[in-house]
A and B are shown apart, each in its own frame.
Chain A
Amino acid sequence: MRYLSNVSTLEFYSGKCTGCGMCVNVCPHEVFEIREGQAVIIERNRCMECGACVTNCAFGALSVARGVGCAAALINSMIRGGEPTCDCTTESSGCC
């Protein structure tokens, strides 16, 4: 299943990448692959901006505007102001 295309804020700075493969290990949607000693974004439209790759890249080669992909949280933050946070009113195998 895919979500909207061309919206992810994922950025990759190839100059800093050492090809350690950590991003491949942590990404739940197979966004990366290691090719010739470097990470390559093979399908950025699968990215859900969870931030796992950014948090675990020790070399600062990635960035993303991470946040909750949750309409309720975003609507709440529009109305009340402040950062959209997820109050986990829904337990799920995935995000809340």
Chain B
Amino acid sequence: MLEKALTGGPGYRAWMAFLLAVFATGLFFYLRQLELGLGVTGMSRDVSWGLYIAQFTFLVGIAASAVMLVLPYYLHDYQAFGKITVLGEFLAVASVIMCGLFIFVNLGQSPRVLFVILHAQPKSVLFWDMFVLNVYLVLNIITGWTVLGCDRKGVPPPRWVRPLIYLSIPWAISIHTMTAFIYAGLPGRSFWLTALMAPRFLAAAFASGPALLILICLVLKKWADFDAGEKAIQALARIVAYALAVSIFFVLVELFTVFYSGIPEHQEHFRYLYAGIDGHGNLVPWMWMSAVLAVGALAALIHPRARKNERVLAAACAAVFAAFWIEKGLGLVVTGFVPSPLGSVTEYAPTGPEIAVALGVWAAGFLVLSVLYRVFVAVRREAGSVEPSAEGLRNGP
């Protein structure tokens, strides 16, 4: 099937060429980082994780969100998702690949990355995170590819994929929970030391992932002649609305706990985020923007008429995606380090090379995604109006 990715119109080719150029630029700057050390980034002794790990954290959420299609379709027999479940699985594949790359470029000694396996430490959450992410990647490649391949031939998918699909449901939860545990289990980092971390991560993931999928479906409808169907898109939009509401609620719960308890150490980080401390407030405008985008999007999404308007829906989904990208992709990681254990406020700002590397990783992800979606669209178009054969899988004995 992969050969289908090699053909495409001028638009597709231009898009791929653009992605390749961004990726090549990122690679160039990564090689410089490899040569000179992490000093080319904006990270410091006090803020030792930055853009890379933040992107990783955000993308684990996008990867986990595939479950929002798989679960209703395979567990609740929600037919409308039949056409696009594979889209979710392929999005997960591309996201996990980006996660891996972000971890990789964040290492001070990336050539030693295999030590995580060679000297595996079962007490380290990072080890388990790597493990669950890799298994999740394999699960989604196998299930997505197999189901799509069978659709192409017009045969029901083999019986053996079903357990894999079921397994991928709790597994999706596990990848984001494990990522939350990287943060939530650390003493002395009060910003992260909250049992709400994993639930918050999941709620954010189930809002931002489906929001991205809606945007992708709208793009495919307009430019790739693939219509996911009004019903599926509206169902996704409702998922985004609920998850967004839960997510905002979680943030408010966190704020209450921190500020009503009045423990200074816990308050400081939130102060840094939303008001700045001692004149340091790099993130303040971003965080307020994120808050406004999230609340605005919620207003649009809970209103049925607004949600049904494709333009409003697209804008709301873009807002949700941006809001959570800011929250997790910028704010969450850095703020855990500010103020430092010794009370100093060191600000962090990514450098040019760091941003170039990050964009390069995103480009790599979108390259994978474009190839997979190109195959998907071609197969679905060939299959024409034939209903996806995963039907047979679902209804099988």
Is A bound to B?
no
Task: Name B's A-contacting residues (CB within 8 A).
Answer: none
